[in-house]
């Protein structure tokens, strides 16, 4: 008799990962793409930016150092991130793309466009696309000296 009451009192708890939302509404995340000329980072967070959902780099996908920043490596990284987002329940992303910036190059590297295209093709909806490259208002002295780098 005692074992029957114990079985009735047992409760089952389910661990739910990701945001709680209706099935018909979009769940947004923020995809931060950092495309330098040496590597490409694809980092998806929640809307506040505090919780990391997935972070994959081009260097994690290819073996050769010279291929880390290539469009192919960025595409593979973005596809991995998209799969992880769908597992968690994120269906749409706002994209923040960034170059090195500061006193260095303000144009994104070769992997930026490929990563964005791969996110869109993987089935994630794209919300807003924003360029968040840091631009100095007045900066420290640029590398290379007064007359620049002489070849």
pLDDT tens per residue across span 105-135: 999 999 999 999 999 999 999 999 999 999 9
Domains of the chain by start residue, with CATH: 28-131 (3.30.420.80)
Cα 144 to Cα 29, 65, 104, 136, 151: the distances in Å are: 40, 25, 11, 18, 11
Average pLDDT, the chain: 90
Q: What is this structure's pTM?
A: 0.83
Q: Which of the residue ranges 4-8, 12-16, 31-35 has the most confident prediction, judged by mean pLDDT?
A: 31-35
pLDDT at 47 over 60: yes
CB neighbour list of residue 13: distance below 8 Å, 6 or more residues apart: none
pLDDT at 67 over 80: yes
- What phi and psi, each to the nearest 5 degrees, are found at residue 149? -80, 125
């Amino acid at each position: 008799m005692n074992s029957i009451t114990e079985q009735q009192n047992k409760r089952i708890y389910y661990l739910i990962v990701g945001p709680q939302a209706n099935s018909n509404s979009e769940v947004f995340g923020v995809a931060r793409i950092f495309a330098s000329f040496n590597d490409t980072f694809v980092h998806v967070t929640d809307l506040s930016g505090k919780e990391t959902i997935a972070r994959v780099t081009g260097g994690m996908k290819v073996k050769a150092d010279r291929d880390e920043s290539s469009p192919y490596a960025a595409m593979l990284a973005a596809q991995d991130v998209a799969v992880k987002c769908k597992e968690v329940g994120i269906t749409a992303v706002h994209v923040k793309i960034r170059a090195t910036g500061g006193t260095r190059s303000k144009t994104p590297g070769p992997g930026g466009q490929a990563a964005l295209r791969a996110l869109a093709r993987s089935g994630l909806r794209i919300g807003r696309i924003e360029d968040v490259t840091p631009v100095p208002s007045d900066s420290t002295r640029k590398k290379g000296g007064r007359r620049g780098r002489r070849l």
